[in-house]
Chains A and B, each alone.
Chain A
Amino acid sequence: MDGGNQTIALRWFGVAGRRSRAQERDALVLARVADGDASALTELYERYAGPLFAFLYRLAGDRGTAEEILQDTLLAVWRSAGTYRSRSTVSTWLFGVARRQAHNRLRGLPPPLPAEPPDGAEVVDGLPGPEELAVGGDRVQAALARLPLAQREVVVLAFLNDLSHREIADVLGIPVGTVKSRLHHARTTLRGCLDERMA
């Protein structure tokens, strides 16, 4: 092994070690939550507020609903922290809880649209369509609105939260193959949107 490879290997082990220690700390904090320590819930929230809220915001499409689901998620964590069995990382477990709460709230609802339509966007029947949003407003949200919830959550976890296929499969409780096929279908749908816009 030459010097360059050695440095890369040491860096890799360093990153892996830091990640492992962070996971251990998360597990300890969650154990304190399970014991009824409210400050531990705050600590856990401060660590994961950003990624969890971003995930829920992209799933729900508006801030109010995302905040409600986030509250539901924290409540579920507070009540069921004792059920965590270290079979996955705390992060994966938290995303799994958040995803279940999102499903409870969003199941059966129409796909999300941004709460406030952009100024000047063409409004048909009182609501802007995905095309109008794509032209003048939140283009990403308009694209996500095209996807059914099952595909939307896979896409958001993959591209927003940068989770691997394996991690997404753990969060959603589905096989890795299903993650890949949902991504494939989502890509086909989104490409269709892009082609329509180009045409």
Chain B
Amino acid sequence: MNEWPELSGIHDGIPPPPGPEIVRTVLARAAHDRVETPTRPRPYRAWVLLTMEARLLHPAIWLASALIMVAGVGFTLARSGASEFVLALAVPLIAAAGVAGSYGPENDRAFELVAVTPTSPRVILLARVTLVFGYDLILALLSSAVLALLNATPLGLTSLITTWLGPMATLSALSLLLSVCWNPEGATGVALALWSVHALAFAGVPVLEGLQGLWTTGSVTVVLAPALTLAAVTAVGKGEPIRRARATHRL
């Protein structure tokens, strides 16, 4: 078939192929690179991840949220008419503190162990935020429902929920971003400071109109909270966080 003069001798000068020992090398590579294909459906794996992560979260996160919420409901029932004030102040702060403390080496006893697993740090972060935020959300919804059922609030259930839902989302997202980029204590401190300024408005102290717009359930919240959460998820696992600048001991 070879009628091309340039290719005459194409069979010549080819070195012999490697011996059968190459197969052993290949099998060793296959064993080394093996990644088990997940056979379970995705929702099941998500559920398993959530239950595993729930075990790793500090019990104080669950306990503190529940206790504060019970205290808030008790206070509201004792002093009828303060429901919107108590829930609007307490719920966002509980959620922000919980979310800030849910991720990072300071509060995570298994941080190093989790860091070497194949699961992305972003997935871990999302799982923990889902757990903590979801738990606080359920607590707040239950509290609102109890207050509405007992007629302890002049507002309807929906109006009561809107007093805390938007601020809860925005403040939690902000504290999450600060926790990822800085540290949980700093994030909680900033959230508390911002929330104190907002609380002054309840006491009748004049506060900037622009700042007040951030703490309502409206279009600003709908845009701001997801944007801050997205920034936090993007930032996690990227580069050296500010808090870990001195993570390596100086010799």
Contact = CB atoms under 8 A, between A and B. Distances in A.
Interface of A: 38, 41-42, 45-46, 49-50, 52-54, 57-58, 63, 67, 70-71, 74-75, 78-79, 138-141, 143, 155-156, 158-160, 162, 187, 190-191, 193-194
Q: Using C-beta atoms within 8 Å of the partner chain, give the interface range for chain B.
A: 20 to 34
B17 A78 contact: no
Given A53-B17, A138-B13, A71 B30 contact: no
Contacts of A49: 17-18, 20
B4 A190 contact: yes
Interface string B32-49: 000000000000000000
B187 to A, nearest CB: 45
Interface of A is mostly: helix
Interface in B1-28: 1-2, 4-18, 20, 22-23, 25-27
Contacts of A194: 5-6
B4 A45 contact: no
Contact of B27 (A41, A57, A138, A143): A41
Contacts of B8: 140
Contact of A78 (B12, B15, B30): B30
A46 B23 CA distance: 10
Contacts of B11: 54, 160
A42 B19 CA distance: 10
Closest 4 CB pairs of A and B: A53-B17, A49-B17, A143-B6, A74-B26
A68 B151 CA distance: 76
Contacts of B27: 38, 41, 78
